[in-house]
Structure 1
Amino acid sequence: MPTITTKDGVEIFYKDWGKGQPIVFSHGWPLSADDWDAQMLFFLNNGFRVIAHDRRGHGRSSQVADGHDMDHYADDLAALTAHLDLKDAVHVGHSTGGGEVVHYIARHGESRVAKAAILSAVPPLMVQTPANPGGLPKDVFDGFQAQLAAGRSQFYREIAAGPFYGYNRPGAKPSEAVIENWWRQGMMGGAKAHYDGIVAFSQTDFTEDLKKITVPVLVMHGDDDQIVPYEDSAPLSAKLLKNGTLKTYKGFPHGMPTTEAATINADLLAFIRS
């Protein structure tokens, strides 16, 4: 399997298919590069080089105990882009991966980056603070950690079968295959990485990162997102970005890259080619 080794000795698994302008995909918590199957195949068939990695502690990457924070996530992504010597890359991040992309660009600069897109993404800040009154109370995320520690297999099953894809909404038609694939990806990773990752995605404030970015960024978010509520995320991120465009999807769930792949892929392609 293709891997790189980071400066702190972590093996990061990645996929690298095709030729052309590179598109780099950063996945959500607690998943893996496999969550981008629908996008990787689509953009490969449209003449792009597609790259996706498993975040440290996730998927096929090393299940280390430490470094499960946005600084390490961004540095690991930078190590990958440097190893592959990527230029003019488009970075696409979903959920936690959206935070990773934003932090990577702000922390490591734009010399290798052409554009970015963040989908159902956690920036600017998920947790409620005096400066972010619209955020979710810290108790919510403490509860996630408690449920994970008590039995993550059941916890992951419930997330996938319920709010992640909007399968708990009236009239929804849950896909058992999609639910099982989410659970499979989650259980491939390490419990410690996923436990710490809850703090990373919920308590990292990306406000200053967003302000630093000058490349075009497409902010894509469903207004029925039950994981990262719309009002306290996408519109705020788009305002903070110097060159941000907000695209709102009526009724789309958090997992829209999977359940609404045809729409998301077409809009991403139009943005990248614009």
Structure 2
Amino acid sequence: MSRKVIVTCALTGAGDTTSRSEHVPVSPAQIAADAIAAARAGASVVHIHVRDIATGQGSRDVALYREVVRQVKESDVDPVINLTAGMGGDLFIDPSNPTVHLPGTDLVSGLERLAHVEELRPEICTIDCGSLNFGEGSQLYISTPDMLREGAARIRELGVKPEMEIFDTGNLWFANVMVEEGLIAPPPLYQLCMGIPYGAPADPGLLKVMVNMLPQGAEWTSFGIGRNQLPWVEHSVRLGGHVRVGLEDNLYLSKGVKATNAQLTERAISIVESMGHTVATPDEAREILKLDKVASA
């Protein structure tokens, strides 16, 4: 049966990708331009990180978010704006002395991670639902149950829909607990993040297991990183989910061919439509996710 599928474009992320592709946007003007281009290509939602203009590294600077959002809202498109609230959880430790925090650490409270959400009140913001060994070496992402409950409660007070980022099955378990505790307004929105070392592997069988763990009435999206990104569009749609693509998670349109955010959006849309479905407009995405009801809660 044909249905409306929400397509999210994740524009830039915070990873060290700017040296690997000239298409990764860095400045607020570049990020906003990519958001607008993705929306013109048909994206329902744009997922926004910001970067320090001088270094290209991920940033929590509220002024940078403010400028990106301003430019998108003043454009001729009106995508659903989804701001990350995951920055501020990075901990690098000395493996021989774990009490020593190494350069690169950016660790603040759950509420401090919401400073830009407090000011800008986007329709959606992310909440990363657990701690994780993040790749090789000694980097950890820290997001404890106490931080999550406090952050989720504040997000709900602000009238913002949390997109619960799920990196492994334990994250999903805890997200379900927050739903049961009434911290998440219905319908809950889950983002199943597959293939990020060392979280859930990009295994379609595991995706099916995780989908089976979702509560009744939930809306969900999933994505795979790197070369799994575009094939994952089909995996997600076949299981009843929405999709996410973009340069945050993948730099290539095909082998050796670097992509833009608009191109990845267009390719995702072509896959969705080839499966007999249609892509939700931003307003249809707002209706599916009941964003107006969150804002008025």
Which TM-score band applies after superposition, normalised by the shorter structure? 0.3 to 0.5
Larger-Rg structure: 2
What is the TM-score when the length of structure 1 is the normalising length? 0.38
Structure that is richer in strand per residue: 2
| Bigger fraction of residues in helix | 1
